[in-house]
Structure 1
Amino acid sequence: MKYKDYYEVLGLPRSATQDDIKRTYRKLARKYHPDLSKLDDAESRFKEVGEAYGVLKDTEKRAAYDRMGDQWRNGQEFEPPPQWDEGFEFSGADDRGAEDARFSEFFEALFRGEHAGGGRASTGRARHAAGAGRHNATAQEMEDAFSGVPNSTPGQDHHAKVAIDLRDTYRGAQRTISLETPVLDASGRVVLKSRTLDVSIPKGVYGGQHLRLAGQGGAGFGEGRAGDLYLEIALRPQELFRVDGRDVTIDVPVAPWEAALGARITVPTPDGTVEIAIPKGSGGGQRLRLKGKGIPASDPAGTAGDLFARLNIVLPSAGSEQARAAYEALRQACDFNPRAQFSGDLS
């Protein structure tokens, strides 16, 4: 994927005000409009300018884009940094870009694709969650929200993505999180306003799930209720464990004699250690299932995931005379051809 420097596309510095961006876009849109320009690349330039404006005119998109830094160059191979949108608080505003823009792969990856997080980036999921929250409103709140009375406007729902450790899903946790919300300063430049919240992470939460914090979204107008804050949970990368839904997998190194003769070994889990039995004659890549040892259920009626121990047979070094002698004795003692399936007519 190629990085797009939207500031370079518009010919503006990163310190440009929102008014600077609007004026420059209007000038370039006229210059490259396919119906007005005779340049061969007018249409592609027009679309490129439209996409840049679609991001930079929007306070939240621009702040999210700026958050990745300025170390990349236009056209450079690019991959979004891990958890680049963690702790970035979005409102429930519309996520459309410039009307005439056909969005690039770069735009889709950041604001609508798999790399995007809990706000603009996962608009469909967030709006679904927001809708679920609104269904819990009281009759009076619904009446106030749609009564048209100016002093009873409810606040917008907000969305953010937060990363937690895998062990937090096993035990639950109390965490203090920091969120940044983009706002315009007095000179029309985008700045980030920070706040911290104490959050209860429930046991059994999993990656992609949304937690609703009632009343922690945008402020209401007058007597209108505050919006809610929806936190999308992401799991930090784990050194030992891989997560698929509620199932967790760990690669377990075993010695050849443990695999051949069987053994009982201790392996780590996100919630402590467990002892597992290696069956006799186990092979590399074989998975042993520990039922119910994955991410716990989030409610009593739910089902916990499983923990899978994937066996990885590790060979001892033959660096000493004693080790080489042992390997030679093993070779002579075993009538073993690991490539027996290659023999015979393979045509």
Structure 2
Amino acid sequence: MEFKDYYGILGVEPSAGEAEIKTAYRRLARKYHPDVSKEKGAEEKFKAVNEAYEALRDPQKRQAYDQLRAGGYRPGDEIRPPPGGFGRGQSGQPDFDFDEIFAGGGAGGGFSDFFENLFGARGRANSGGGARAGQPAGDTRAKLAVPLAAVYNGSSIRIGVAGRTLEVRVPKGVRPGQVIRLAKQGNGGRDLLLEVEYAADPQFEVDGRNVIHVLPVAPWEAALGATLSVPTLGGPVDLKIPADSESGRKLRLRGRGLPGTGSAPAGDQIVELEILAPKAHNDAQRKAYAKMRDAFGDDWRRG
């Protein structure tokens, strides 16, 4: 299998902080999203960006990846798991508890063999062992990264477990930390307990039951007002942008967040406006910017 340079894919340095990695991910995911990008190979680039972010956003996954990367591998290098597998020291014992970082590719994310071998296979092979509070002895436990679309719709997803493919029914509105039990699918025929966490999404961030979407807005749309199509977990909707809006303004789409369960109501979608100036690609567009410059002068800064 080929080594993946996750830092290179996101265009950040290995020393990049969490905020820088998230910013790079959001920018590239927006650029290559299949629903908006017409660029050749956009879908594959989108998948690569999503995989890189999934690996680097979690401190434990990132630590495991950095340990492997320290071996001097370059993009495209063929690598094989060392004796004892990835993430193990010379003693053959795990340097990291891969049971605690199993996520992402096993949740139907379509991730590469490299990701699966580094994060998925070791986590699944080493999960199990001692019991935890409230858990029968011997049950296998792992984390499951669930796409937000599955949380919203309550759909089934497929996961890979030790060379097997299992179908997991995700309850609508499931919350992080809740456990999905698959009877007799764990080690030695015991139950497999999957602790839910939300997978990274290129368009939405989660805040409780609310979801946050950053919407790019052109300067004239912000100044004059506009009606724009906005993605939601339930499909696109039209949103009216008030005139004289500024970057950072938040608009609310009620009931468009994650579903409620029991007496808990559904969340909302918060749309945060981000005013971006499009690049001028031809003379007509450059002349349009020149007219704006002449019309506004320097006084706009004082306002």
TM-score grouping bracket, smaller chain normalisation: 0.5 to 0.7
Match of 1:230 in 2: 193
Q: Which residue of 2 aligns with 1:211?
A: 180
> Alignment partner of 2:172: what SS?
coil
The C-alpha deviation readout for 1:263-292, integer Å capped at 9, x for no partner, is 111111232111111111111122222232
Q: Which amino acid aligns with 1:294?
A: G
SS in 2 for 1:203: coil
CA distance in 2, matches of 1:55, 1:62: 11
| 1:135-174 mapped onto 2 (5 Å cutoff) | 156-174=138-156
Of 86, 93, 97, the match for 1:55: 93
SS at match of 2:246: coil
Amino acid in structure 2 at the alignment position of 1:330: M
What is the deviation of 1:179?
Answer: 0.8
**Counterparts of 1:276 and 1:82 in 2: how far apart (Å)?**
39
CA distance in 1, matches of 2:186, 2:68: 31
Match of 1:242 in 2: 205
| Counterpart-to-counterpart distance in 1, 2:120 and 2:301 | 50
| Cα deviation code 1:83-102 (max 9, x no counterpart) | 943363355424xxxxxxxx
Larger Rg: 1
Q: Which runs of 5+ in 1 are unaligned?
A: 6-12, 17-48, 66-79, 95-125, 135-154, 181-193, 220-225, 342-347
1:278 maps to 241
- Could you tell me which residue of structure 2 aligns to residue 302 of structure 1? 264
Shift of 1:173: 1.2
Q: How many Å apart are 1:168 and its aligned residue?
A: 0.8
After TM superposition, give the deviation of residue 169 of structure 1 in Å: 1.0
Q: Which among 290, 293, 296 is matched to residue 331 of structure 1?
A: 293
Rate the CA distance shift 1:62–1:271 in 2: closer, same or farther, 3 A.
closer
Q: Is the 8 A contact 2:100 2:142 kept in 1?
A: no
- TM-score relative to the length of structure 2: 0.56
**Tell me, what secondary structure is at the counterpart of 2:222?**
helix
Over the matched positions of the two proteins, sequence identity in percent amounts to 38
TM superposition shift of 1:167: 0.9
Name the counterpart of 2:253: 290
Aligned equivalents of 1:248 and 1:284: distance in 2?
Answer: 18
Separation in 1, partners of 2:117, 2:268: 26
Structure 2 unaligned regions, length at least 5:
1-62, 70-80, 102-113
**TM-score of the aligned structures, taking structure 1 as reference length:** 0.50
* Structure 1 residue 212 displacement after superposition: 2.4
Alignment of 1:188-203 (within 5 A): 194-203=163-172
Asked if 1 retains the 8 angstrom alpha-carbon contact of 2:184 and 2:190, the reply is: yes
